[in-house]
Structure formats: C-alpha cells, structure tokens
C-alpha cells in the first residue's frame, strides 16, 4: 500500500530543487567577494532549505520536522533582512518567505492528522 501524499511532501520536493539551485548560484557568485556576508547568509538559507526538504520527505518524527521548519524560517528571515540591506525591498523577498510558511503549514496539517484517532481502527471501535 502506498503512503498518502501530504502538503509537507509536496512542498519538500520543490524546496530541495530550489535549495540546490540557490546553493549552486551562490557558489558560482562567490568569486565576487564584495558581498561576502550576503553570500554566507544565502548559502546558509539554501542549505537549510535542502535539509528541510529532505526532513519533510524522509523523517517520521514530527518534532524534528517542526524544529527544522523553525530553523528554516529563521534562516530565511535572516537572508531576507540581509538581502534588503544590499538590494532593497523587492517582490523576490516576499516570495522567499512563502516556502517556510507552506512547509510549516504542511507540518501543521500532517501533525493534526496524526493526532486524530482513526475511525477504521478495530481496537477503537465499540460494537
């Protein structure tokens, strides 16, 4: 039997892809060291994005997924603040904020479904 596809898993796959893409772009852009702190914050956020994506797909512990989701949110907010300092506010900064929110919303939905008792469970039925 195949497992159910949840919002958490759906969000995790593009997060891995976008994190790998962002990491590659930042590694290639590191040759210009005038914005070194900006590169460090972007690399940290992309590694957090990749890690959260893998946790969302592979981890069975909802507590670990919540912790990595909060760390991803903190890293993203830090990256947005640093990016605004270098480039100014733009629509791109707002779109960066969407992924951690979707990730944590997926965690919330999955956690809520896991905490509900199953109606089809023969041990819980009282017939």
Tallying the residues shown for the chain, one arrives at 127
For the chain, the first-to-last Cα distance in angstroms comes to 27
pLDDT of 78 > 50? The answer is: yes
**CA neighbor of 12 nearest in space, from 61, 62, 65, 64:** 65
The pLDDT value given to residue 16: 92
Position with higher pLDDT, 79 vs 67? 67
The pLDDT value given to residue 1: 34
> What's the average model confidence in pLDDT over 21-32?
79
Coil vs helix vs strand at 58: helix
The pLDDT value given to residue 120: 57
The pLDDT value given to residue 127: 47
Res. 54 pLDDT band, cuts 50 70 90: very high
Q: How far is Cα 83 from Cα 6, in angstroms, rounded to an integer?
A: 32
The answer to whether 19 touches 50, Cβ cutoff 8 Å, is: yes
């Amino acid at each position: 039997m195949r497992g159910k596809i949840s919002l958490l898993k759906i969000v995790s796959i593009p997060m891995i892809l976008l994190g790998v893409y962002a990491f590659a772009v930042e590694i290639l852009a590191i040759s210009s060291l005038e914005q070194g702190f900006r590169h460090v914050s972007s690399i940290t956020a992309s590694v957090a994005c990749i890690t959260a994506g893998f946790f969302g797909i592979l981890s069975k512990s909802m507590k670990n997924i919540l912790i990595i989701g909060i760390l991803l949110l903190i890293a993203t907010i830090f990256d947005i603040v640093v990016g605004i300092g270098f480039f100014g506010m733009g629509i791109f900064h707002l779109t960066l904020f969407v992924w951690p929110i979707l990730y944590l919303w997926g965690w919330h939905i999955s956690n809520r479904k896991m905490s509900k008792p199953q109606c089809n469970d023969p041990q819980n039925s009282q017939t």
